[in-house]
Chain A
Amino acid sequence: MATKNIMIVGVGGQGSLLASKLLGRLLVDEGFDVKVSEVHGMSQRGGSVVTYVKFGDKVYSPVIEEGEADFIVSFEKIEAARYIKNLKKDGTVIVNTQQIDPMPVIIGNEFYPENVLDEMTAKGVHVDAIDALSLASEAGSAKACNIVLMGRLAKYFDIPYEKWEAAIAKCVKPSFIEINEKAFSLGYDN
């Protein structure tokens, strides 16, 4: 199978680490060659963060470059826009509609661009927007946004639902399994 590329992007502290851990676990169990790459350090302090997940028969480069991503899963609205150049021509953007102001916006030096999702759609990008924050709260924790988005991503894959659930159970503490399974199902069904 040709390599599939998924980018997970967002703001430091939003929980992209668990999302990539879940994907990695699942895809290794499915028998794929897998690479997951992220940069630690400065970017954890509320900065823009990006994780690359690649899988297939044989994966070489751990990074995803311009025009290569099959999916961009974005935890925040403008972060999807920041990395859109990496999307394949017929790729899909799954985006949480949450808005988090970056510091230049907070201090009034720049404006938060409101209409980036419309602009993407106008340019022919398949945009799958979802209010993951509300769904996560419905599941029992605002922090479960990451798993809501994984639930939405799962709809695009042929991997059985139970296998995703099994991977969740392996990746989170037993006391959080229920909330995360709920979050996953809300992302999957809505």
Chain B
Amino acid sequence: MKELMIGNAALARGLYEAGCSVISSYPGTPSTEITEEFAKFDDVYCEWAPNEKVAAETAFGASLRGKRSACCMKHVGLNVAADPLFTMSYTGVNAGMVICVADDPGMHSSQNEQDSRHYAIAAKIPMLEPSDSQEALDFAKIAYEISEQFDTPVLIKMCTRVAHSQSIVKKGERTETEKPYQKNPRKYIMAPANAIARHPFVEERTDKLIEYAETSPLNRIEEGNGTYDFGIITSSTSYQYVKEVFGNSVSVLKLGMVHPLPVKMIQDFAAKVGKVYVIEELDPIIENYCKTIGVNVVGKEKFSILGEFSQKTVAAAFELEKKENVCLDTAIPVRPPMMCAGCPHRGMYYVLAKNKITVLGDIGCYTLGSMPPLNALDMTLCMGASVSGIHGFNKAGGSETENQTVCVIGDSTFMHSGVTGLINIAYNQSNSTVIILDNSITGMTGHQQNPTTGRNIKGDPAGKVDLESLCHSVGIRSVRVVDPYNLGECEKAVKEELAKNEPSVIISRRPCVLLKYVKPKKPLHVNTEKCRGCKRCMKFGCPAISFRDGHAVVDSTLCIGCGVCAGLCPFDAFESEVEE
């Protein structure tokens, strides 16, 4: 049956049909749904790991034992998994192993727009790049064939537009596969003597993969009808933009395998078409390769290294006619994402902003605390960097910073890579205050379970890390829990912990209001006779509160009745809705 599927769901389907039995991943937009969709299949094992390195090593273990496996992550997650990645290239696999990585050109939901193709080159691992959902499904199957035929993990690179665009997919049947496990120290123990012996294998493998790339159906030439006399080399979503603009009027070399790239195929294509343009998002990987094999191409001088492309990018580069449209003279105010009404993070941020505390931040919903009116953050770098960062900040700043700086990190991010930073704080003793914003879920990526929630990916009961015990056991003596809806309690805790001359942890605990088990209360309303229009509540940044005709107004469709605003108002103007 034909079905509309996002690229990530189609990729999950392809992994499943190829007989993948184990997936371990850490969520990250735009990769999360691959694992979530795979978890819906009954006869396979699927989990959220604490981070991408653990996930990749888990998948490796499953492959070693003889089951086809995969791990999925966003582009920056591959940085975390880079350590096992580079050496898995040497060991190769037993059963096939696939690493799915989703890039985010345009940074819809990311802190950088790094190009994952560099990892394929650096780790000498083949990389496939689908351009729509059907290819995502088909390439998953081919990836396992390559993995086992060439004894290598295989990378499948998605991007936001392929991962989150739905297109029509034809499903197939699952094939079960398993390989026997045999002890093989020279292949799997990467001590120097063995690794030295494996390195030539890796180089020879790349040569064989280049031969494969020359004739593989992953790479294909679509001959144009002769309208234009140049040719285009492209891949991924850029291929779709090229076809949208040119249809059959130009010859296209469409690459489905972006590492390693073919030599003769590119040279022959160039010889046939004459002038060649390379259209690829982000870095000039294909372009530079063409140049090293003696094919002169036009690439980044015409197509930006920045952001996402579209058909408009392609049309503009070839100076095709711009489409007629309407523009308004009125300026439209921006509508940035923000913390939800009733978000438990807001209370803690309000206290930190009010006390003008320096706040080193981390990756998650709570990064939105950097937005006006709270403007509460000073730094956000990568997963876990708040905890390691505050240690360095305070070692450098000493008594000038220790008593007025905190770091904030979510429960899932703390599990991912915050705990190692906390161990460093405890071990090397900086007088740092760490605030764990524990909303009992991985929020920003859309509610995934994590080691602190006591539930696994299917929502079933699982092991549970106790944050208080964990912090105590690594050597933090001062650990306390506060309710972020209680502003007074939060302020007291922050002031007291900052005043102490020892490391401390404050766990700001209240579940995300979007969780199903969190039942909203009746919305509040403003008593306009009491409200004096002082706008103190406007500094709280709750999307349910706005200001009209000299008074605060509560939007009853957004308000979940958390009541924190009522505690802020000096005139008690926020009142609970009276039952009719």
What is A's interface to B at a CB cutoff of 8 Å? 11-12, 24-25, 28, 33-48, 59-63, 65-68, 78-79, 81-82, 84-89, 101-113, 115-116, 119-120, 123-125, 142
Contact = CB atoms under 8 A, between A and B. Distances in A.
A16 to B, nearest CB: 13
A21 to B, nearest CB: 9
B4 A25 contact: yes
A143 to B, nearest CB: 9
Contacts of A43: 108-109, 337
B326 A62 contact: no
B135 to A, nearest CB: 13
B240 A62 contact: yes
Contacts of A88: 323-325
Given A40-B446, A41-B30, A101 B328 contact: no
B160 interface: yes
Contacts of B161: 37, 62-63
A39 B160 contact: yes
B541 A107 contact: yes
Contact of B323 (A65, A102, A103, A108): A65
Interface in B145-165: 160-161, 164-165
Contacts of B368: 45
B108 A39 contact: yes
How many chain B residues sit at the interface, stated as a range, is 35 or more
Contacts, number: 184
A28 B4 contact: yes
A48 B541 CA distance: 17
B372 A109 contact: yes
B338 interface: yes
B310 A61 contact: yes
A62 B328 contact: no
A103 B328 contact: no
28 contacts: A28-B4, A33-B168, A35-B132, A37-B164, A38-B164, A40-B30, A41-B29, A41-B444, A44-B446, A45-B338, A46-B335, A65-B323, A66-B325, A84-B328, A87-B326, A89-B324, A103-B335, A103-B371, A103-B543, A105-B546, A106-B546, A107-B372, A107-B538, A112-B333, A113-B330, A113-B333, A119-B329, A125-B326
Contacts of A45: 337-340, 365, 368
Contacts of A124: 326
Contacts of A38: 164
B162 to A, nearest CB: 8
Nearest to B32: A40
A41 B323 contact: no
Contacts of B545: 106
Interface of B: 2-4, 29-30, 32-33, 108-109, 132, 160-161, 164-168, 237, 240-241, 243-244, 310-312, 322-340, 365, 368, 371-373, 444-446, 535, 538, 541, 543, 545-547, 557
Nearest to B106: A39
Contacts of B160: 39
A175 to B, nearest CB: 16
A119 B444 contact: no
Contact of B168 (A11, A34, A42, A101): A34
B334 A41 contact: no
Given A67-B322, A111-B333, A112-B333, A61 B339 contact: no
B112 to A, nearest CB: 14
Contact of A102 (B3, B29, B335, B547): B335
Given A40-B446, A45-B337, A116-B330, A34 B166 contact: yes
A46 B372 contact: no
Contacts of B444: 41-42
Q: What 8 pairs between A and B have smallest CB-CB spacing?
A: A67-B323, A41-B109, A47-B337, A67-B325, A62-B165, A45-B337, A102-B335, A41-B29
Nearest to B8: A40
A97 to B, nearest CB: 15
Interface centre among A106, A108, A110 (most CB of B within 10 A): A106
B446 A103 contact: no
